[in-house]
Amino acid sequence: MNTGSTGLSAGLTALVTGAGGSIGRGIALRFAQEGAAVALHCRTAVDSARDAASRTGELGGRAVVLRADLTDEEACRRLVHEAAEWGGGRLTTLVNNAGVQPVRPLPEMSAAEWREVGDTNLTSVFTCTQAAAAIMREQDGGGTVTHIASVEARLPADGHAHYAASKAAVVMHARAAALEYGRFGIRVNTVSPGLIDREGLAEAWPEGVTRWRRAVALDRLGRPEDVGRRLRVPGLAARVLGHRAGPGGGRRSVGAAEVMRRVTSALR
């Protein structure tokens, strides 16, 4: 890591799950720009995660790629401990970003499909957070945990019943975790993005992209870096807990000015 960095995250060790995807990659690079050492988790997108780690090095940072299947409880716990060990025994930030977003009409959805989304999007958040908090509560300064939820936690889309339900539960988990872990100096918050662009999205889900562009004020999809900018604010505010920020493009979401107002108020 570039020890001369004076960024807001200098000296921190961050674990970002799902860092092989577009949002996770953007978050990891944002932390690297701010001076953090970043552990990038992936399951199958190894090349993308390694490329992001290489970019981190170009930014003067330090990174490692760790693989794990987050539907496996023990794999979740191993991942967190490997990241902390790599960070010299400390883990200051966890970003629960990994998730899946399949499309299946509710009448046609099987219980197995429902469970798969729940295990990936929700149960992994519970397990990784619990493992990270056990480390953070024993270290000076506690730590921060940020869940990447979705605007669909409040506004579900067709074919996304399992996804929307999992993200709504993620938001409530953050509030409960903020309540119980706050006494140990651990801040837990959520960021709820709108539809974030990625390669092939318009071809894979054209109706969803069209609906989103019609609904938002900005008339564009979100970008991965939008999420990274929002995440930094609640994650580093020492007295902000259980907060939900969201770069939603103007669709019933918390805007940048409102996020800053809330953070400024909390820090007074």
Q: What is the DSSP string of 76-139?
A: HHHHHHHHHHHTTS---EEEE---------GGG--HHHHHHHHIIIIIHHHHHHHHHHHHHTTS
Residue 141 has pLDDT above 70, yes or no: yes
DSSP state, 196? B
Residues 6 or more apart whose Cβ sits within 8 Å of residue 19: 25, 27, 28, 38, 40, 41, 42, 49, 52, 65, 97
Distance of alpha carbon 164 from alpha carbon 148, whole angstroms: 13
Least confident of 12-16, 29-33, 201-205, 262-266: 262-266
Please state the rounded mean pLDDT for residues 136-158.
Answer: 93
Q: What is the mean pLDDT of the chain?
A: 80
Residue 38: helix, strand or coil by DSSP? strand
Residue 52 has pLDDT above 60, yes or no: yes
Which residue from 3, 40, 34, 46 is spatially nearest to 19, judged by alpha carbons?
A: 40
Domain ranges of the chain: 13-267
Predicted pLDDT of residue 23: 87
Residue 115 has pLDDT above 60, yes or no: yes
Q: Is 181 a catalytic residue?
A: no
pLDDT tens profile 226-263: 555 555 433 444 444 555 555 444 334 333 344 334 33
Predicted pLDDT of residue 266: 39
Predicted pLDDT of residue 260: 36
Q: Active-site residue among 163, 188, 233, 243?
A: 163
What is the Cβ-side half-sphere exposure of residue 128, based on CA atoms within 13 angstroms? 39
Domain 13-267 has CATH 3.30.70.270: no
Distance of alpha carbon 22 from alpha carbon 153, whole angstroms: 20
Least confident of 24-28, 53-57, 145-149, 235-239: 235-239
DSSP state, 72? S
Confidence (pTM):
0.78
Predicted pLDDT of residue 257: 40
Question: Model confidence at 22, in pLDDT bands (50, 70, 90)?
Answer: confident
Predicted pLDDT of residue 34: 85
pLDDT tens profile 68-82: 999 999 999 999 999
Distance of alpha carbon 214 from alpha carbon 104, whole angstroms: 22
Beta strand segments in the chain, E: 13-16, 37-42, 63-67, 93-96, 143-148, 186-191, 244-245
